[in-house]
Amino acid sequence: MPPPRPRQSLPRHPTLAASTDPSRLILSQVISMSNQQSTTHFGYQEVAEEEKARHVAEVFDSVAQRYDLMNDLMSGGLHRLWKAFTLAKSGVRESWRVLDVAGGTGDLALAFARKLGSRGQVWLTDINHAMLVRGRDRLCNQGFIVPVAQCDAEKLPFPDDYFDCVTVAFGLRNMTHKDLALAEMRRVLRPGGRLLVLEFSQVWKPLAAAYDFYSFQVIPRLGQMIIHDEASYRYLAESIRMHPDQEALKLLMEQAGLEQVEYYNLALGVVALHRAFKF
Ligand SMILES: C[S@@+](CC[C@H](N)C(=O)[O-])C[C@H]1O[C@@H](n2cnc3c(N)ncnc32)[C@H](O)[C@@H]1O
């Protein structure tokens, strides 16, 4: 069974919290708000916001070399079908500009590059150098030279209204400010363009216990066996549990200004593909 989720309560200032003096109460609220704004989750741990990106970077630095092998082992190859489904739902045309955010070792970018003719363009981007280098080399070895940029999804270095399609597969979960990242992805989409978010989600309830066992007992051990890193794969399981479920992510996308948001459950909700438009 997974460890219980940490309680979400915030640290309280012992003397101020008990005060009835209005000025102290306001100060107490300010302190509480600043606490609220400055922490986030890294799996089940509560960490300072500015720390999360470093923790996430450590995970992907550690797993980059064997990331693709682990994906195949953990999902029994299913991640390939989920990515093929994402490509199919994009409705991609040959002349399109496509941006793959948090593209890592380049599965989706490669699939889009194969589909697009020489008139189109695929950008492979990621915040992590080790993952990006593997992705770039992989595409290169398959005969595709695509533009590559190391960048944070929360501050995309692209102009407004530029891309026909933006994708993010298994990346959003790791971002510190998902709302900012979604707003950035919307900003760089042209009116009529679409965003596809492929991410772990909430599994069908009757399967939850088996899925918990697999996530917390099997996957970290596999991580230990294959790359001697149990902690990164424990983070994977925890981060999935902390990620917004299907409806919550839909709401988050709507709040970022995206429209016609719909989602498809894959593998009984283990994963969901959300698709939305900018108008
Ligand atoms: C699980 S991997 C997914 C890689 C690839 N998209 C795939 O489907 O196989 C998550 C990726 O998100 C990247 N990432 C995490 N935070 C990010 C951020 N703020 N901006 C851009 N990429 C980020 C990580 O570096 C990592 O390569």
**Is 27 domain-assigned?**
no
Interatomic CA distance for residues 268 and 192, integer angstroms: 30
Query: Are β-strands 163-169 and 97-101 bridged in parallel, bridged antiparallel, or unpaired?
Result: parallel
Nearest CA owner, ligand 1 atom 8: 169
Q: Tell which one of 126, 178, 238, 239 to mutate to probe ligand 1, the residue whose CB is within 8 A of the most ligand atoms.
A: 126
Residue in this structure with the two tokens 């992510």, named with its chain if needed:
249
* Within-domain flag for 133: yes
pLDDT at 8: 33
* 240 within a domain of the structure (yes/no): yes
Domain assignment present for 78: yes
Host domain of residue 168: 49-277
Residues 6+ apart with CB under 8 A from 126: 101, 102, 103, 104, 132, 135, 150, 151, 171
Task: With beta carbons less than 8 A apart as the criterion, state whether 28 and 21 touch.
Answer: no
Residue 201 lies in a domain: yes
| Per-position pLDDT tens, the chain of length 279 | 444 444 333 233 333 333 344 444 333 443 444 455 689 999 999 999 999 999 999 999 999 999 999 999 999 999 999 999 999 999 999 999 999 999 999 999 999 999 997 889 999 999 999 999 999 999 999 999 999 999 999 999 999 999 999 999 999 999 999 999 999 999 999 999 999 999 999 999 999 999 999 999 999 999 999 999 999 999 999 999 999 999 999 999 999 999 999 999 999 999 999 999 999
Position 117 scores a pLDDT of 78
Position 36 in a domain: no
> Is residue 6 assigned to a domain?
no
**Ligand 1 neighbour 102 (Cβ under 6 A):** yes
The CB of 56 under 6 Å from ligand 1? The reply is yes
Q: Which long-range contacts (CB under 8 A, 24 or more apart) does 18-22 make?
A: none
**Which CATH number do you get for residue 219?**
3.40.50.150
pLDDT of residue 108: 98
Amino acid 184: pLDDT: 98
Q: What is the Å distance from ligand 1's center to 230 Cα?
A: 19
Ligand 1 within 6 A of CB of 196:
no
Total of domains in the chain = 1
CA angle, corner 51, sides to 46 and 52, nearest 5? 65
Is 2 inside a domain boundary? no
pTM for this prediction: 0.88
